[in-house]
């Protein structure tokens, strides 16, 4: 096992009815800015629950944070937060709203051009405190310190992270997910699955509990994913999905092990160029990534085949191929297409995707730093 420091300060308040406890989580004299997306929290009643819980506090709402939140929109929220003397942010929504709120929290206190937080990875020294009410199990943003922000004008989608941008708390009420369209449930399952794979499917370092924890989360997703699509109001299924997605990216399974993240970086470029959902890009890239890098991931692919998919028959190469196929079949069973052609893209933009990776310095990705632009090109080509 590798050396590590693990510290996660986010308080999780889990279960049906827990939105009412917001009153106890937020300072009584706070001036709150509720941040949200395009309206789902109004139609499903979550916003009304939040407002009731805030009681007499002064609050304002900033809506319109879009999927793949943009710098342009978030800077409008920064201006509003300053104008209204806001001192606490409350993100109510999915990963885009929470990521966007992390950026707002940092940008309000940032000296200089806030886009540098993304483009130059400028250090975030301070951020406004914020909490979240999660309505979409997928990203893990509710219990981590990262975010991914897009710049519409530049066509960029870039990640940032900081010790200052952990949520103070996150409320996870599985009933808030009942209103999710099937596409977003499917996206969430695929995203969480790939988060686990990025931290698990690298090379062995004898990290037994991280491996078994990761395998347990993966197996749980293979069970609850299809159930969540088939039974939208099954509380137990939604609860298991929600907690699994949080644990997939709260730092626990990634502590002390090598991490990959090349699939995510190649996926971000597809979203920036073609506007695909984040999880759709992962479903396209991951099977291709595993196929192209099967030699450097051989030992872990064999472990994954046996422990997650129960594949024990055949030669090593046959078992690895079967595990990659099982992964692709699972994503397709979740109704998420796994080829660029499923989204009418094909191979036409591979040159542009590679140029963008180069512009963003993504030239030595993966757990060994050996995913060069040439390897990335092979992955995109394999994914056509």
Residue from 78, 93, 225, 239 touching ligand NZQ (CB under 6 A): that is: 93
Q: What minimum distance in Å lies between the beta carbon of 64 and ligand NZQ?
A: 8
Cross-strand pairs, 14: 172
Residue 260: strand, helix, or coil: coil
Q: Which is nearer to Zn ion, 53 or 194 (CB)?
A: 194
Region of 4-12, 19-27, 176-184, 375-383 interacting with ligand NZQ (CB under 6 A): 176-184
Q: How many Cβ atoms are within 10 Å of 9's Cβ, its own excluded?
A: 11
Q: What minimum distance in Å lies between the beta carbon of 314 and ligand NZQ?
A: 33
Q: How far is CA 56 from CA 29, 130, 154, 169, 279, in A?
A: 9, 18, 42, 20, 39
Is residue 327 at the binding interface for ligand NZQ, with CB under 6 A as the rule?
no
Site map for ligand NZQ, 177-206, x if CB under 6 A? x-xx---x--xx--x---------------
For the chain, strand residue ranges (E) read 11-14, 31-35, 58-62, 88-93, 130-134, 146-151, 156-161, 169-172
Region of 128-136, 187-195, 309-317, 368-376 interacting with Zn ion (CB under 5 A): 187-195
Is residue 140 at the binding interface for ligand NZQ, with CB under 6 A as the rule?
yes
First-last CA distance in the chain? 37
Region of 72-80, 184-192, 222-230, 309-317 interacting with Zn ion (CB under 5 A): 184-192
Q: How far is CA 281 from CA 14, 187, 193, 285, 339, in A?
A: 30, 10, 13, 6, 9
Q: Using CB distances below 5 to 8 A depending on partner kind, what does residue 367 bind out of ligand NZQ, Zn ion, none? A: none
* Positive or negative torsion for Cα 221, 223, 229, 235: negative
Is residue 220 at the binding interface for ligand NZQ, with CB under 6 A as the rule?
no
Q: Which is nearer to ligand NZQ, 139 or 240 (CB)?
A: 139
Is residue 238 at the binding interface for ligand NZQ, with CB under 6 A as the rule?
no
Is residue 44 at the binding interface for ligand NZQ, with CB under 6 A as the rule?
yes
Residue from 173, 191, 211, 277 touching Zn ion (CB under 5 A): that is: 191
133: nearest Cα among 161, 107, 101: 101
Is residue 304 a contact partner of residue 323, using CB atoms and an 8 Å limit?
A: yes
Site map for ligand NZQ, 51-90, x if CB under 6 A? ----------------xx----------------------
Q: What minimum distance in Å lies between the beta carbon of 138 and Zn ion?
A: 7
Q: Which is nearer to ligand NZQ, 45 or 347 (CB)?
A: 45
Q: Which residue has the tokens 């250090």?
A: 123
Is residue 138 at the binding interface for ligand NZQ, with CB under 6 A as the rule?
yes
Is residue 32 a contact partner of residue 57, using CB atoms and an 8 Å limit?
A: yes
Distance CA 289, CA 280 (A): 14
Q: Which is nearer to Zn ion, 285 or 305 (CB)?
A: 285
Is residue 99 at the binding interface for Zn ion, with CB under 5 A as the rule?
no
For 247, counting Cβ atoms within 10 Å of its Cβ (0-12 exposed, 13-18 middle, 19+ buried), the class is buried
145: nearest Cα among 114, 188, 182, 102: 102
Q: Which is nearer to ligand NZQ, 31 or 154 (CB)?
A: 154
Residues that bind ligand NZQ (CB under 6 A): 37-41, 44, 67-68, 93-97, 99, 135-136, 138-141, 144, 146-148, 176-177, 179-180, 184, 187-188, 191, 249, 264, 278
């Amino acid at each position: 096992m590798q050396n590590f420091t693990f510290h996660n300060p986010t308080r999780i308040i889990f279960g049906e009815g827990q939105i009412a406890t917001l009153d106890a989580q937020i300072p009584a004299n706070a001036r709150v800015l509720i941040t949200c997306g395009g309206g789902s929290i109004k139609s499903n009643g979550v916003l009304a629950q939040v407002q009731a819980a805030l009681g007499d506090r002064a609050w304002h709402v900033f809506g319109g944070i879009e999927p793949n939140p943009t710098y342009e929109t978030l800077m409008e929220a920064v201006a509003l937060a300053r104008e209204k003397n806001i001192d606490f942010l409350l993100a109510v929504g999915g990963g885009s709203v929470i990521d966007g709120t992390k950026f707002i929290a940092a940008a309000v206190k940032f000296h200089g051009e806030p886009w540098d937080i993304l483009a130059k990875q400028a250090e975030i020294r301070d951020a406004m405190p914020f909490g979240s009410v999660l309505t979409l199990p997928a990203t893990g943003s509710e219990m981590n310190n990262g975010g991914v922000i897009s710049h519409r004008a530049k066509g960029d989608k870039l990640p940032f992270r900081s010790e200052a941008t952990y949520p103070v708390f996150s409320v996870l009420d599985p009933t808030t997910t009942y209103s999710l369209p099937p596409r977003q449930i499917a996206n969430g399952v695929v995203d969480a699955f790939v988060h686990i794979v990025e931290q698990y499917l690298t090379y062995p370092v004898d990290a037994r509990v991280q491996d078994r924890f990761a395998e347990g989360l993966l197996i749980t997703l293979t069970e609850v994913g299809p159930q969540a699509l088939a039974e939208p109001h099954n509380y137990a299924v939604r609860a298991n999905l929600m907690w699994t997605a949080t644990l997939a990216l709260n730092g626990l399974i990634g502590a002390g092990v090598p991490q990959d993240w090349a699939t995510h970086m190649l996926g971000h470029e597809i979203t920036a160029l073609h506007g695909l959902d984040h999880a759709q890009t992962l479903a396209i890239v991951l099977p291709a990534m595993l196929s192209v890098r099967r030699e450097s991931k051989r030992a872990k692919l064999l472990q994954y085949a046996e422990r997650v998919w129960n594949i024990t028959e055949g030669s090593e190469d046959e078992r690895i191929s079967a595990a990659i196929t099982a992964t692709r079949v699972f994503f397709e069973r979740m109704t998420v297409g796994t080829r660029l052609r499923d989204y009418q893209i094909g191979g036409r933009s591979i040159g542009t995707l590679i140029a963008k990776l180069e512009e963003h310095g993504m030239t030595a990705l993966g757990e060994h730093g050996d995913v060069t632009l040439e390897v990335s090109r092979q992955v995109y080509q394999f994914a056509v």
